[in-house]
Amino acid sequence: MQTARRDSVLANRNFRLLFGGSTISMLGDQFTLVALPWLVLKLTGDPAALGLVLAAMALPRAAFMLIGGALVDRLSPRRVLLSARGANALLVALLAALVLLGGIQMWLVYAIALGIGLSTAFAYPAGSAILPQLMTPQQLQPANALVMGMRQLSMFIGPALAGAVISMGARGTPQHAVHDAGGLGLAFGIDAASFLFSLGSLLLIRVHSDFHPKEVVGGVLANVVCGVRTIWADLPLRAFILYAAVVSVFVGGPLQVGLPVLANTRLDLGAASLGILMAANGGGMLLGSALSGVAGRWVRGRLGLMVLTIDSLAGLAVAGMALVHSTVTGAVLLAGTGTLGGIAQIAIFTWIQRRVAPQMMGRTMSVLMFTFMGLGPLSAALAGSLLKLISLPALFVGAGLLLTAIALSCMGNPALRSIGKAPATEAG
Domain that holds residue 133: 2-209+220-417
pLDDT category, 193, cuts 50, 70, 90?
Answer: very high
Top-confidence residue, 220 or 237: 237
C-alpha to C-alpha distance for 345 and 140, rounded to whole angstroms = 13
* 188: in domain: yes
How confident is the model at residue 209, as a pLDDT?
61
Residues whose CB falls within 8 Å of the CB of residue 384, separated by 6 or more in sequence, listed in order = 46, 47, 48, 49, 50, 51, 52, 54, 257
Summarize pLDDT for 44-59 with one digit per residue, the tens. Answer: 888 888 878 877 887 8
Predicted confidence at residue 191, as pLDDT, reads: 93
pLDDT category, 194, cuts 50, 70, 90? Answer: very high
Q: What is the pLDDT of residue 421?
A: 63
- Local structure of 421: helix, strand or coil: coil
Q: Please report whether residue 423 resides in a domain.
A: no
Give me the mean pLDDT over the 338-357 stretch. Answer: 77
Q: How many CA atoms lie within 13 A of 29 on its CB side?
A: 20
Indicate the number of domains in the chain.
1
Task: Say what the pLDDT of residue 5 is.
Answer: 46
Residue 355 has pLDDT above 50, yes or no: yes
Confidence band for 90, pLDDT divided at 50, 70 and 90: very high
Q: Which of 184, 164, 131 is nearest to 279 (CA)?
A: 164
Q: How far apart are CA 83 and CA 35, in angstroms?
A: 24
Residues 37 and 410: their CA atoms lie apart, in Å, by 33
3-state secondary structure at position 98: helix
Task: State how far the Cα of 289 lies from the Cα of 59, in Å rounded to an integer.
Answer: 30
Q: DSSP string covering 235-276, please?
A: HHHHHHHHHHHHHIIIIIHHHHHHHHHHHHHT-SSTHHHHHH
Q: Of 173-187, 223-237, 320-334, 360-374, which one has max mean pLDDT?
A: 320-334
* Distance between CA atoms of residues 374 and 366, nearest Å: 10
Residues 6+ apart with CB under 8 A from 242: none
Rg (CA), the chain: 21
Question: Which tens digit of pLDDT belongs to each residue from 198-235?
Answer: 899 888 887 766 665 566 555 667 777 777 788 888 88
| C-alpha triplet 202, 203, 205: angle, nearest 5° | 65
pLDDT, one tens digit per residue, over 164-178 is 888 876 554 544 456
For residue 215, tell me if it sits in a domain: no
Quick check: is 42 in a domain? yes
CA distance 314 to 404: 7
Q: CB-based contacts of 166: which residues, under 8 Å, 6+ apart?
A: 34, 35, 38, 180, 183, 184, 186, 187, 271, 272, 275
Judge whether 181 lies within some domain: yes
Cβ proximity of 359 and 73 under 8 Å? yes
Picking from 357, 31, 47, the residue whose alpha carbon sits closest to that of residue 194 is: 31
b/e sequence 240-256, b meaning 16+ C-beta within 10 Å = bbbbbbbbbbbbbbbbb
Spatial neighbors of 225 by CB under 8 A, at least 6 apart, are none
Q: In whole numbers, what is the pLDDT of the chain averaged over residues?
A: 79
Distance CA 131, CA 148 (A): 12
Q: What is the pLDDT of residue 177?
A: 56
* Pairwise pLDDT comparison (144 vs 413), residue with the higher score: 413
Under the banding of pLDDT at 50, 70 and 90, the label for residue 425 is very low
- pLDDT tens digits, one per residue of 19-53: 888 889 888 988 998 889 888 888 888 888 887 88
The verdict on residue 67 lying in a domain is yes
In a domain? residue 291: yes
CATH number at residue 84: 1.20.1250.20
Task: Quote the pTM value.
Answer: 0.67
Residue 214 in any domain: the answer is no
